[in-house]
Structure 1
Amino acid sequence: MEVRKVYKNPHTNLLQLEEHMYPLVDVDKPNVFRNLFPYDEVPKIAFNDRIVPHNMPDDIWITDTTFRDGQQSRAPYSTEQIVTIYDYLHRLGGPKGIIRQSEFFLYSKKDRDAVYKCMERGYEFPEVTSWIRASKKDFELVKEIGMKETGILVSCSDYHIFYKMKMTRGQAMQHYLSVVRECLETGVAPRCHLEDITRSDIYGFVIPFCLELMKLGEEYKIPVKIRACDTMGYGVNFSGAVIPRSVQGIIYGLMTHAGVPSHLLEWHGHNDFYKAVTNSTTAWLYGACGINCSLFGIGERTGNTPLEAMVFEYAQLKGTLDGMETTVITELAEYFTKEIGFVMPARTPFVGKNFNVTRAGIHADGLLKNEEIYNIFDTEKFLNRPVLVAVSNTSGLAGIAHWMNAFFKLKDEDAIDKSHPLVEKIKEWVDKEYESGRVTVITDDELIKVINTYSKELGITL
């Protein structure tokens, strides 16, 4: 019988001893948690009120899957586009490399060319890594390119093991371990992607498997990373929810019972139930150092955790951006829109064209007096996006004045208020537009034309 060591918890400064042993439970029939996931009903969120403690690591970071999972739901990026985006990610991550890694496919020549060109950049961060299936053939690609680390797909729910792979748990584990061992034999650090972890048997398969992975890491003196993949977005962050849906329960189990240290633990979320960001933040709070994201959440089905969201989650949790260059987020959004042709939903936080635009006249009046009233933070400073007001039938005098100040960059003594005669003239024109049946927002070009006309009429120069 294995004797577990007493160890000191660095966060609580208490000695701890975990005596639980979790051998593989090699079942004859798959456990698909039909009580939680009845396919012909909405999934259930059950509770047992077992609470685990917060355990946020001293250092947390972001990893990127824009070129891997992000390419699974859209037309492939060109080599040039990948390299350009990679340059942006390097700038965004700042001198401390908060965006720690970026993972790439290796299957096409285009992807391999992009890998070589990104590696030639010589950046420390984001580190270029790869992703492969648990196949020895795929691993040949990793060795050929000379990668230091690769992700390996190791599906862990019985849905995948029994129905997709047609294996038992024992067979799947041995197959995965053989590929990981081959990876370690050549000095490449494996990153094990535990696909579909939120429908898996955590104590019957995941923890026994991860215990074996940690042993392999110790044997070869090479770290084996664990990525907990909420592939279907079933994870929840509610206190006291049951596993396998509980994010904090999964993180706690991997750390406490499988012995996975925080710096080797990542969370990869999907947004099927609108929980990708909150689940990712929860993973940080309960012990995972890494959160895997894609730019603008672009990924399979409903997408991944948006990388730009986690930049600001990081700042809110740590109280600092740690040198991240957040204005790059706006540059990336413009690049995706203009050069790649990606349609950015207008109300998308931080990057949508309307994310800091208000239409209501009463809100515009507040913005005119103090923009802090209706703006989340200094968006001009952090995103190079000054707060704006869209002019419509509800904008009022204050909305028009605010639009003019923002568009023409009129500040302090040069700023105009809602009693300005030019503002009143514009308001009269706007009212006539909507009285005649207009239903759309006034465009910038229309406003500029009308402002120029009335400015000349009133003898005013802006």
Structure 2
Amino acid sequence: MENRRVFKNLHNNLLELEEHMYPLADVEKPNVFRNLFPYDEVPKIAFNDRIVPHNFPDEIWITDTTFRDGQQSREPYTTEQIVTIYDYLHKLGGPKGLIRQSEFFLYSKKDRDAVYKCMERGYEFPEVTSWIRASKKDFELVKEIGMKETGILVSCSDYHIFYKMKMTRREAMNHYLSVVRECLETGVAPRCHLEDITRSDIYGFVIPFCLELMKLGDEYGMPVKIRACDTMGYGVNFAGAVIPRSVQGIIYGLITHAGVPSEMLEWHGHNDFYKAVSNSTTAWLYGASAVNCSLFGIGERTGNTPLEAMVFEYAQLKGTLDGMDTTVITELADYFKDEIGYKLPSRTPFVGKNFNVTRAGIHADGLLKNEEIYNIFDTEKFLNRPVLVAVSNTSGLAGIAHWINTYFKLKDEKAVDKNSPVVYRVKEWVDKEYEGGRVTVITDKELIEIIQRACDELEISLW
């Protein structure tokens, strides 16, 4: 007891006793938590009602995996596309660099060309980092390019250690530590990706392993980062849920018992159970400074935590965007659609074609009176996306005029009002559609065609 350090927790002003009492449990048989993860049943969420305190870091930020995990689920980006997206990420992150890093594969020539071109940009943020497997062969690529930091895959569940790697926990730990030590010896900062942490033995393997990683960092005087990877999306943010599924329980254990500082701790989530965003926010709230994301959530299986979602989570938690330029999100969505040919689902928050389009007649009436009634915030200001009202049998002349002005971005003297002859022509066509028995809203494509036809017949131009 005498050798344990007593220190003051600056977040709650209480004295705490440093406890590191978790040796490696080198089991003979894998612990796959069959009671929580019966493969022939839906996974179970169990509770023990052990509550951990909020531990919101002084600083939080976002890291990006669009060019790594995001690229594993789609055709590879071209070098030019990667550089363009990287430029957008730099602009989106703002002057404080709140999109702190972006990670890349190094395996193909195209990947390495993109890395060199992005590094040539000279941006402080996002810092260009890499991802490798825990092998010395992969590490040679990192040294060759001259990376300052690299991610290293260190799978931590017994599913991976016993079934994939065919090792014991002790063998896996020793293997991982040897690769991390090699990183440190050549001056490269390691970022350890603890794959499948939400099916891992947290106190029997993860925390003892991270304690050894922290010791290595102290020995070499270099930071060793920990990325907690919810690879299968099993994490939950419910108070009192048991580990390994409890996000806050994992973060608490890593900080309190493994001694990982908040600024060295990162959460990487997947969306298999629709919890990627809420779990990432929870990781922030309970002590992780970084959350790892992919643009539009594009990633393995159901995808990663959407980067644009965490931009707005940041603003809601901090009360400020801290200089992030959120209009870039719309520019990126347009780039993916127009240049890359990627189709975003129309109802995707913030970027989908219909995310701020009101279709219900009674809602449209409210919007026309005051858009705050049915719009989440000033979408025109933050996303350069004015709120839209879909046209139906309840829209009226004013609703049609509103649709034309917002869709075609007509303002001031170019804007049309409800007395415009074009608006009357469109209204006549809409009325005939519903008189004929139509029950669905008018599509954008139909409206564009009828507006163009009306303009041609009236020999006028709206744009």
TM-score w.r.t. the length of structure 1 is 0.95
- Give the distance between the partners of 1:119 and 1:436, measured in 2 at CA: 61
Counterpart Cα distance in 2 of 1:73 and 1:166 = 27
Corresponding residue of 2:321: 321
Q: Aligned in 2, Cα 1:461/1:415: closer, same or farther, shift over 3 Å?
A: closer
Structure-2 residue corresponding to 1:130: 130
Partner of 2:455: 452
What residue in structure 2 maps to residue 336 of structure 1?
336
More displaced 10-residue stretch of structure 1: 284-293 or 360-369: 360-369
- Secondary structure of the structure 1 residue equivalent to 2:217: helix
Could you tell me which amino acid in structure 2 is paired with residue 452 of structure 1?
C
**Distance in 2 of aligned mates of 1:16 and 1:229:** 28
Change in 2 beyond 3 A, CA 1:360/1:455: farther
Whichever residue aligns with residue 272 of structure 1, its letter is D
* Aligned counterparts, 1:304-319, within 5 A: 304-319=304-319
Change (3 A) 1:417 1:319: same
1:332–1:412 CA distance, 2 compared to 1 (3 A): closer
Q: Is the 1:284–1:291 contact (alpha carbons within 8 Å) kept by the matching residues of 2? A: yes
Task: Give the aligned partner of residue 39 of structure 1.
Answer: 39
Structure 2 residue runs of 5 or longer lacking an equivalent are none
Q: Secondary structure at the match of 1:72?
A: helix
Q: How large is the Cα RMSD of the aligned pairs?
A: 2.2
Structure 1: stretches of 5+ with no match in the other structure:
none
- 3-state SS of paired residue (1:344): coil
Q: CA deviation at 1:426?
A: 3.2
**Deviation string for 1:376-419 (max 9, x for gaps)?**
11111111111112223454445323213324556689977768
Please give the alpha-carbon distance, in whole angstroms, between the structure 2 residues aligned to 1:325 and 1:217: 35
Give 3-state SS (helix, strand or coil) of 2:102's partner.
strand
Q: Deviations over 1:1-35 (max 9, x none)?
A: 89321111011111101435000000010000000
| Residue 189 of structure 2: aligned partner | 189
**Aligned pair in 2 of structure 1 residues 2, 343: CA closer, same or farther (>3 Å)?**
farther
User: CA deviation digits over 1:170-203, x for unaligned, max 9?
Assistant: 0000000000001100010000000000000000
Task: Determine if contact 2:20/2:258 at 8 Å carries over to the other structure.
Answer: no
Give 3-state SS (helix, strand or coil) of 2:191's partner: strand
Contact 2:422-2:455 within 8 A present in 1 as well: no
Aligned to 1:303: 303
| Counterpart for residue 106 of structure 2 | 106
- Contact 1:364 1:402 (8 Å CA) reproduced: no
* CA distance, structure 1, for counterparts of residue 274 and residue 236 of structure 2: 10
* CA distance 1:451–1:191, change in 2 (3 Å): same
Partner of 1:8: 8
* 1:246 matched to 2:249: no
Q: 1:433 is matched with which residue? A: 433
Given that 1:359 and 1:399 are in contact with CA atoms closer than 8 Å, whether structure 2 keeps it comes out as: no
Query: Hey, what does 2:70 align to over in structure 1?
Result: 70
Question: Structure 1 residues 347, 253: CA separation in 2 closer, same or farther (over 3 Å shift)?
Answer: same
Q: Which moved more, 1:384-393 or 1:299-308?
A: 384-393
Q: Deviation of residue 366 (structure 1)?
A: 1.1
Normalised TM-score (structure 2): 0.94
Give me the whole-angstrom Cα distance separating, in 1, the residues matched to 2:401 and 2:189: 58
State the SS of the aligned residue for 2:284.
Answer: helix
Query: Could you tell me which amino acid in structure 1 is paired with residue 442 of structure 2?
Result: V
| Change beyond 3 A, Cα 1:119–1:2 | farther
